[in-house]
């Protein structure tokens, strides 16, 4: 009897050890199948020449040499790095907008309690739309000849077909589409700021600006850091805006790195090995920015 009870107790302890792994298993399986395996395959394919219609041909480091202009005419390297520069332009301009503007909107929404729910829904609504839908809508607004904006302004601004208007259109579209997501995060963060501290600051004569920079912003700095990292990564992956709204033009002036990778793999070039090499190099650039962001966060925490 004692042996049976002991065996039963050991069985329960053994099951309790396995339970946490059972909860983690679905995520790990999905991560391995859709994350790790594709990454490993991309690394392998980047050393090949493959158009997915013929067998793979080992190509060594030639795909990477092409990207850095070490072999070939240099056109591949030129197209890729121009795409990277256009992407960096988008990141440098759009990321601060998607950090600062949602913060301002969140502050306004939290102060206007009477219309808070309506305001949050109004600003968040564009976020639930697909990028294709958003681009079609903005094309309807910005079309030179039949666009609503030009019609009511009485002008013929080539929003989509000429520079710098094409980039301005992309920035406007991306800002309208992306404000809502970060706004929700900021609203949640601001709601957790201790009200007694704000009230004490008010009694001491602190104004709204002082309270924001001295109390609110330090309290939600982790939320700001999270939105900074995620927004930066999202900006690096910009594809739909340039592909659907401006088709990479005019004169390839809005062609981003993701567009170059996509076109290399599926847009007629059909060189999957070269596209994987581009993706790995571009991913390494994104990783550098992400690591720098985390370094800044660690330094900020160390100061505290």
Is residue 199 over pLDDT 80? Answer: yes
- Within this chain, do residues 41 and 83 fall inside the same structural domain, yes or no? no
Mean pLDDT of the chain: 87
Residues forming a β-bridge with 49? 57
Any domain includes 58: no
Q: What is the pLDDT of residue 257?
A: 94
- Within this chain, do residues 79 and 186 fall inside the same structural domain, yes or no? yes
Give residue 9's domain range: 2-45
Q: Assign residue 210 the CATH number of its domain.
A: 1.10.3720.10
- Within this chain, do residues 294 and 200 fall inside the same structural domain, yes or no? yes
Q: How far apart are CA 46 and CA 60, in angstroms?
A: 8
Any domain includes 224: yes
Is residue 8 over pLDDT 70? Answer: no
Q: How far is CA 215 from CA 98, 108, 166, 185, 231, in A?
A: 22, 17, 39, 17, 24
- φ, ψ for residue 114 (rounded to 5)? -65, -35
Any domain includes 59: no
| Mean pLDDT on 77-100 | 94
- Within this chain, do residues 121 and 161 fall inside the same structural domain, yes or no? yes
- Within this chain, do residues 20 and 166 fall inside the same structural domain, yes or no? no
| Mean pLDDT on 94-98 | 94
> What is the band of 112 on the pLDDT scale with cuts at 50, 70, 90?
confident
pLDDT single digits (tens) 235-281: 999 998 989 998 888 888 999 999 999 999 988 778 899 999 999 99
Q: What is the pLDDT of residue 138?
A: 92
- Within this chain, do residues 144 and 284 fall inside the same structural domain, yes or no? yes
Any domain includes 69: no
- Within this chain, do residues 200 and 134 fall inside the same structural domain, yes or no? yes
The full DSSP string for 281-293 is HHHHHHHHHHHHH
- Within this chain, do residues 159 and 267 fall inside the same structural domain, yes or no? yes
Any domain includes 191: yes
Query: What is the Cα gyration radius of the chain?
Result: 25
- Within this chain, do residues 85 and 195 fall inside the same structural domain, yes or no? yes
Instruction: Provide the b/e sequence for 65-97 (b: ≥16 CB within 10 Å).
Output: bbbeeeeeeeebbebbbbbbebbbebbebbbeb
Any domain includes 137: yes
Number of domains in the chain: 2
Is residue 303 over pLDDT 80? Answer: no
Any domain includes 277: yes
| Mean pLDDT on 207-228 | 89
Is residue 217 over pLDDT 70? Answer: yes
Any domain includes 56: no
pTM (2 decimals)? 0.88
- Within this chain, do residues 113 and 250 fall inside the same structural domain, yes or no? yes
Provide the 3-class DSSP secondary structure of residue 235. Answer: helix
Q: What is the pLDDT of residue 48?
A: 93
Residue given tokens 């790990």 in the structure block: 28
- Within this chain, do residues 24 and 114 fall inside the same structural domain, yes or no? no
- Within this chain, do residues 247 and 295 fall inside the same structural domain, yes or no? yes
Q: For residue 303, how many C-alpha atoms fall within 13 Å in the half-sphere facing its CB?
A: 6
């Amino acid at each position: 009897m004692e042996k049976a009870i002991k065996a039963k107790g050991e069985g329960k302890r053994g099951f309790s050890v396995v339970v946490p792994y059972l909860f983690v298993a679905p995520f790990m399986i999905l991560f391995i199948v859709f994350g790790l395996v594709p990454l490993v395959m991309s690394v392998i394919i980047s050393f090949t020449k493959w158009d997915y219609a013929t067998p793979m041909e080992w190509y060594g480091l030639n795909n990477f040499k092409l990207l850095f202009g070490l072999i070939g005419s240099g056109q591949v390297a030129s197209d890729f790095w121009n795409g990277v520069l256009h992407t960096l332009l988008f990141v440098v301009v759009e990321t601060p907008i998607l950090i600062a503007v949602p913060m301002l909107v969140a502050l306004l929404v939290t102060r206007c309690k009477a219309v808070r729910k309506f305001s949050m829904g109004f600003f968040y609504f564009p976020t639930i739309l697909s990028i294709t839908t958003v681009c079609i809508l903005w094309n309807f607004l910005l079309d030179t000849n039949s666009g609503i904006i030009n019609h009511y302004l009485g002008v013929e601004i080539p929003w989509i077909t000429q520079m710098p208007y094409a980039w301005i259109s992309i920035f406007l579209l991306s800002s309208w589409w992306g404000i809502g997501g970060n706004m929700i995060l900021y609203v949640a963060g601001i709601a957790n700021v201790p009200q007694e501290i704000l009230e004490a600051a008010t009694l001491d004569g602190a104004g709204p600006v002082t309270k924001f920079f001295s109390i609110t912003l330090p309290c939600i700095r982790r939320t700001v850091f999270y939105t900074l990292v995620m927004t930066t990564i999202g900006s690096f992956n910009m594809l739909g805006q340039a592909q659907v709204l401006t088709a990479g033009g005019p004169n390839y002036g809005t062609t981003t790195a993701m567009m170059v990778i996509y076109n290399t793999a599926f847009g007629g070039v059909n060189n999957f090995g070269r596209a994987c090499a581009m993706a790995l190099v571009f991913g390494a650039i994104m990783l550098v920015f992400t690591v720098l962001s985390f370094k800044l966060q660690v330094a900020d925490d160390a100061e505290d």
